Amino acid sequence: MRRNVPALLAAALAAAALAAGCGGAGASAEPVATTEVEMVKSYRFDPKTIEVEAGSTVTWTNQDNFTHTVDVEGQEDHKVERGEQVSITFDQAGTYEYVCTLHSQDMTGTVVVK
Ligand SMILES: [Cu+2]
């Protein structure tokens, strides 16, 4: 079953302060221009790093067999059951790190807002 969660306004306050680059070598974190992120099997956000225009609404869809969450730094946590999705609007430019609070070791991602 699929249920649309109303878009939530991203709290502008927090995430803006993050330093941009993560300093790691390697091109694996190359941002992908999309507003769709899937939680794929198993315990992964795909793509892990995305890039969107300010004002965009990003939708996460859970395709995994487990419940996950999307917790953007400085905002409330959103639980996403199997087959469900959550949408968050990013109005302010910045680099927003997020995590699944249930699997924070494995499931992290980044939204770069231009
Ligand atoms: Cu998870």
Give distance in angstroms: CA of 70 to centre of ligand 1. Answer: 8
CA distance 32 to 4: 24
- Residue closest to 22 by CA, chosen among 99, 110, 90, 98: 110
18 CA → ligand 1 middle, Å: 23
Output the CA–CA distances (angstroms, integers) from residue 62 to 13, 57, 80, in the order listed. 27, 16, 7
List the pLDDT tens digit at each of the 114 positions of the chain.
Answer: 445 444 443 433 333 334 344 444 444 569 999 999 999 999 999 999 999 999 999 999 999 999 999 999 999 999 999 999 999 999 999 999 999 999 999 999 999 999
- Global confidence as pTM: 0.75
Q: How far is the CA of 99 from the centre of ligand 1 (A)?
A: 8
- Count of residues in the chain: 114
| Ligand 1 centroid from CA 67, angstroms | 6
Query: What SS3 state is found at 45?
Result: strand
